[in-house]
């Protein structure tokens, strides 16, 4: 497999781009920090296009290159505040491949790869590990040989919206603590080193900030509003109706409307095991459904319950229940355009962590930010490249050379890490100032469309 091979056509296609940044980064490190070459090489090495992900089977799709991304609302920002330092550190760690083991790190996997913007990722697929799009078997030898249980256990990737309300964690609800579950993912599932306590604290702080998206069809107690359709309202009555096939219980017994449509318990619903009750909020956008993603839509889910519990629902009743699930699972603006501005704004929240970290001499936090920002800058350079991939010429003279500017920004980030490691806090701050000036100029110079 060579680097000039064309990636397969498809939604994940990216142009293969070789970076001069590797030379720039190594030169900076050699001049500023004799012992930092391993770190800089790890974050500045060139990468191949999608479909040719280093270390993973051909045909791997991370699904990060579409025109939109899931919309995210953080609790503090929704209340008119801003991300705290701990939340910003957790936000950065959530997008950091460096948290994981060698195989996942080489591929550029991070928490955000699977849980895009804290949501699910229905396009994620790794041949041999994923039984279907939107999930994977985390108990194989792909990322951690000691994790392989010898059984095919495909698990659908869940959304993390409102995760502070949805304990216990894991599809089977085996972990009570979100902190313990995050550690399990890093160390056990993806073979990463033991994370520092502050990193686990930060990840939890960030994830607990991720809100459900607003939905005008339900009120704060989970009842349908006037915005819901007549079919959805008929479905609501059915949802709350005790049914003999379920021992006199109703759908609402487990999916409790005023408790985020969950009950914090585990049940056997005829799906090959005992699994945690998932929330139904914003679920319209998190297909496929069930723990293993076996059902493509709500109609399949309703049909499963009708058969498994001998409910005897008519076709009209099933349609009403589907309308109800769609209403409860709806959201205002579930997606937002993926633009240079939105991606650079995300990086700005990561970079904010460095200010305090430089003052405290917190080199691990600085390295985490540098690693994450440089990786994401490579993504931005590929995603918004203004060069013709065949000739290397600028395609739109009225727009900036994003790839070149991203290389320059990455070089500044690398120098921040090297200068801080060498004990030159003033030099690191100067390089940080230059980074911010260039980043601001890039956003200001590019049209919004």
> Any idea which fold 230-328 has?
Cytochrome Bc1 Complex; Chain D, domain 2 (1.10.760)
Is 109 or 44 the better-scoring residue by pLDDT? 109
- 291 in Cβ contact with 206 (< 8 Å): no
pLDDT of residue 382: 87
Mean pLDDT of 210-234: 99
Average model confidence (pLDDT) across the chain: 88
pLDDT of residue 430: 96
- Cβ contacts of 30 within 8 Å, gap of 6 or more: 37
> Any idea which fold 68-213 has?
Cytochrome Bc1 Complex; Chain D, domain 2 (1.10.760)
pLDDT of residue 447: 64
Is residue 18 very low, low, confident or very high in pLDDT (cuts 50, 70, 90)? Answer: very low
pLDDT of residue 444: 83
Residue pLDDT, tens place only, 373-402 = 999 999 998 888 888 888 888 888 877 888
Is 300 or 342 the better-scoring residue by pLDDT? 300
Backbone Cα Rg of the chain: 23
pLDDT of residue 23: 38
- 102 in Cβ contact with 221 (< 8 Å): no
HEC profile for the chain? CCCCCCCCCCCCCCCCCCCCHHHHHHHHHHHHCCCCHHHHHHHHCCCCCCCCCCCCCCCCECCCCCCEEECCCEHHHHCCCCCCHHHHHHHHHHCCHHHCCHHHHHHCCCHHHHCHHHCCCCCCECCCCCCCCCEECCCCCCCCHHHCCCCCCCEECCCCCCHHHCCCECCCCCECCHHHHHHHHHHHHCCCCCCCHHHHHHHHHHHCCECCCCCCCECCCCCECCCCCHHHHHHHHHHCCCEHHHCCECHHHHCEHHHCCECCCEECCCCCCCEECCCCCCHHHCCCECCCCCECCHHHHHHHHHHHCCCCCCHHHHHHHHHHHHHHCCCCCCEEECCHHHHHHHHHHHHHHHHHHHHHCCHHHHHHHHHHHHHHHHHHHHHCCCECCCCCCECCCCCCCHHHHHHHHHHHHHHHHHHHHCCCHHHHHHHHHHHHHHHHHHHHHCCCC
Give span(s): CATH 1.10.760.10, the chain: 68-213, 230-328
pLDDT at 30 over 80: no
Distance of CA 71 to the CA centre of its chain: 11
pLDDT at 95 over 70: yes
pLDDT at 252 over 50: yes
Mean pLDDT of 333-342: 93
Nearest to 227 by CA among 213, 215, 239, 244: 215
φ, ψ dihedrals at 336, nearest 5°: -135, 155
Residue pLDDT, tens place only, 123-167 = 999 999 999 999 999 999 999 999 999 999 999 999 999 999 999
pLDDT at 43 over 70: no
pLDDT of residue 388: 84
pLDDT at 91 over 60: yes
**β-strands 68-70, 335-337 pairing:** antiparallel
Distance of CA 288 to the CA centre of its chain: 17
pLDDT at 25 over 80: no
% of the chain exceeding 90 in pLDDT:
78
- Read off the pTM: 0.88
pLDDT of residue 393: 85
pLDDT of residue 448: 59
């Amino acid at each position: 497999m060579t680097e000039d091979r064309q990636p397969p056509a498809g939604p994940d296609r990216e142009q293969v781009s070789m970076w001069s940044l590797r030379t720039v980064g190594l030169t900076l490190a050699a001049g500023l920090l004799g012992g930092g070459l391993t770190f800089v090489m790890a974050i500045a090495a060139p990468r191949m296009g999608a479909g040719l992900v280093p270390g993973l089977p051909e045909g791997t799709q991370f699904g990060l290159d579409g025109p939109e991304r899931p919309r995210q609302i953080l609790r503090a920002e929704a209340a008119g505040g801003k991300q705290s330092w701990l939340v910003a550190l957790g936000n950065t760690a959530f997008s950091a491949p460096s948290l994981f083991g060698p195989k996942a790190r080489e591929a550029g996997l991070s928490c955000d790869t699977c849980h895009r913007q804290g949501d699910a990722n229905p396009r994620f697929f790794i041949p041999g590990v994923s039984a279907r799009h939107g999930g994977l078997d985390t108990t194989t030898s792909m990322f951690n040989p000691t994790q392989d249980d010898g059984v095919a256990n495909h698990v659908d990737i869940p959304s993390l919206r409102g995760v502070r309300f949805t304990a216990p964690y894991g599809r089977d609800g085996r972990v009570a603590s979100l902190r313990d579950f995050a550690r399990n993912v890093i160390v056990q599932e993806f073979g990463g080193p033991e994370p520092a306590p502050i990193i686990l604290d930060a990840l939890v702080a960030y994830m607990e900030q991720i809100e459900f998206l607003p939905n005008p069809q339900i009120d704060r107690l989970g009842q349908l509003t006037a915005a819901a359709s007549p079919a959805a309202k008929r479905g609501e009555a059915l949802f709350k109706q005790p049914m003999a096939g379920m021992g006199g219980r109703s759908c609402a017994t487990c999916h409790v409307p005023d408790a985020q449509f969950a009950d914090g318990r585990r049940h056997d619903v005829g799906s090959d095991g005992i699994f945690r009750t998932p929330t139904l909020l914003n679920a319209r956008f998190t297909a496929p459904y069930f723990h293993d993603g076996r059902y493509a839509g709500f109609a399949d889910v309703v049909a499963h319950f009708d058969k498994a519990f001998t409910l005897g629902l008519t076709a009209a009743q099933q349609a009403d229940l589907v309308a109800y699930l769609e209403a409860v699972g709806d959201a205002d603006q579930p997606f937002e355009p993926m633009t240079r501005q939105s991606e650079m704004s995300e990086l700005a929240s990561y970079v904010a962590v460095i200010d305090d970290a430089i003052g405290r001499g917190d080199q691990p936090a600085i390295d985490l930010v540098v690693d994450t920002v440089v990786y994401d800058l490579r993504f931005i350079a590929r995603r918004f490249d203004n060069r013709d991939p065949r000739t290397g010429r600028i395609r739109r003279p009225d727009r900036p050379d994003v790839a070149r500017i991203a290389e320059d920004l990455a070089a500044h980030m690398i120098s921040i890490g090297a200068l801080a490691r060498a004990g030159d806090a003033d030099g690191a701050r100067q390089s940080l100032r230059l980074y911010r000036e260039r980043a601001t100029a890039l956003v200001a110079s590019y049209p919004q469309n």
